[in-house]
Structure 1
Amino acid sequence: MEGDKPTVGSDEILRKLKPRLIEMMIGEPDFLLTHSDSLGLLTREEYTNIKSIQKPSEKLRDIFDTVIGKGSSESNTLLRRMQEEEFQETFPKLEFLKTTHIGTTTTEKCGTKRPQPMPTEEPPLKQTCTNTVVSEKQLMLVAAKMRRHWKQFGRMALIIKTTKLEQIVDDNPNNVVEQVFAMLRVWKMRERSEATPKRLHTLLSEGDWALDPEDIDFLLNDS
């Protein structure tokens, strides 16, 4: 119909935003890599190959190019994640994604292509002030306190598979704090709106891994 605008796929939108996103996220490319992996956007081989890249801009470029190459659905998934609170905390300049109309994506299965608008509202992670999702800063503070039994805590309390814990160790060799932090982020990304400071405090207060109450009271005071 004359005058109608063609639907722009999320892969094209991500391609256009790529230079700007790389510039904004240049300081911590592994953050994007971890999220892309947790969303299932990368194969194990793709993850390993990109992880080995030393130059931040090239690492970010390859993440975006890999996701873009997989189509609009995968690109849409990554764009949605970048609208969420965790990304906004780590990369404040990405705030423009909250108010920018990112566009639409298409469903490419079963022979049907149906436009699906990408929401520009606040993501589900942001609930009420009494149900705030645990922040990156809080996770790092916990990681600095937990040195013993952290793998047991991950397996039994956070329900993270041993293979995932082993991967975390491989990705962060000789740095227990970073290993614990990465484990807590895996839990946060999986639990999303349920990953509250209060819930984490409860998990950290039980079992052989229990931390000193004074070390984790900030989870209740800051929430």
Structure 2
Amino acid sequence: MTEESDPNTRLLRTQKVRLIDILSADADFVLQHAHSRHLLSRPGYQQVKACHTPTEKVTDLLDHIIQRGPKPAQGFLELLKDKDLQETFPRLNELQEQETWRRAEETLRKRPQKRRKRRKTADSEEEIPPKVNRSSGPSLVKEKQLMSVARVIGRSWKEIGRMALNIPSVKLEHIEEDNSLHVERVFAMLRCWCAQQREKATAANLHSLLCQEDWNIGDIKFLVDSD
């Protein structure tokens, strides 16, 4: 199957810009997972690893996967559905909500489902617990909530990042350099916090951290009201 006719490769290409935006929050994390699944050639891995910025690293990674053809593309889409990736990059859920992503998910699951049919007897209940676990507990903070919070945090955003969100000063300086608008800087900082916290990146947790000190920020009560 050629690259142009492969649905998985096409999906990666059409979602490339959004994936770069999402995965740049922790480029090294996704690179090491892709490498562990043998989705990159040895020269390709060294080339991506040598990139200086997270955005450049993710861009090169996606280009390399797409150029390698259908199998690596399918493997990368399966990787994006891995629990560790989902917890590290909560915004991947945005892609799953799209019709194209759901179609690709069905394609990816066809082969494993056929293999399981022969074993599907008493073991069929084993697939239920993960679904129950995902739906239980507080939900992760949403991107719209992060943007709303970003709009009410003022000039003390870097102090809040260091003191309340435990984000390194070096990371905050990079965020400031990469974003010209204040609200985008704060939003990027909050996304960085989500990537660090993974499954603990809930709206209630964020509200608790921001309310520990008098940071002179606007009303963020909506974080706990919406939970």
* TM-score, normalisation: structure 1: 0.63
Q: Which residue of 2 aligns with 1:101?
A: 109
Unmatched runs of 5 consecutive residues or more in structure 2: 1-5, 32-47, 113-126
Residues 48 and 195 of structure 1: is their aligned pair in 2 closer, same or farther, counting only changes over 3 Å?
Answer: closer
Unmatched runs of 5 consecutive residues or more in structure 1: 1-14, 52-58, 105-118
**How far, CA to CA, are the matches of 2:189 and 2:158 in structure 1?**
9
Q: Deviations over 1:139-195 (max 9, x none)?
A: 0000011122111111111111111111111221x2111111111111112212211
**How far, CA to CA, are the matches of 2:63 and 2:111 in structure 1?**
19
Give the 5 Å matches for 1:25-64.
Answer: 25=15, 28-35=18-25, 37=27, 39=29, 41=31, 43=49, 45=51, 47=53, 50=56, 62-64=60-62
Q: Is residue 23 of structure 2 the alignment partner of residue 19 of structure 1?
A: no
Q: Is residue 189 of structure 2 the alignment partner of residue 199 of structure 1?
A: no
Query: Bigger relative contact order, structure 1 or 2, given CA contacts below 8 A and separation 6+?
Result: 2
**How far, CA to CA, are the matches of 1:49 and 1:188 in structure 2?**
17
CA-CA distance at 1:35 after TM superposition: 4.2
- The answer to whether the 8 Å contact 2:22/2:91 transfers is no
Q: Deviations over 1:101-152 (max 9, x none)?
A: 2879xxxxxxxxxxxxxx9x6597x442x50110000000000111221111
Q: Which residue of 2 aligns with 1:170?
A: 177
Number of aligned residue pairs: give it: 179
**How far, CA to CA, are the matches of 1:142 and 1:220 in structure 2?**
12
CA-CA distance at 1:89 after TM superposition: 2.3
- The answer to whether the 8 Å contact 1:36/1:78 transfers is no
CA-CA distance at 1:30 after TM superposition: 3.7
* TM-score, normalisation: structure 2: 0.62
**How far, CA to CA, are the matches of 1:50 and 1:157 in structure 2?**
29
- Give the secondary structure class of the aligned counterpart of 2:140: coil
Residues 196 and 49 of structure 1: is their aligned pair in 2 closer, same or farther, counting only changes over 3 Å?
Answer: closer
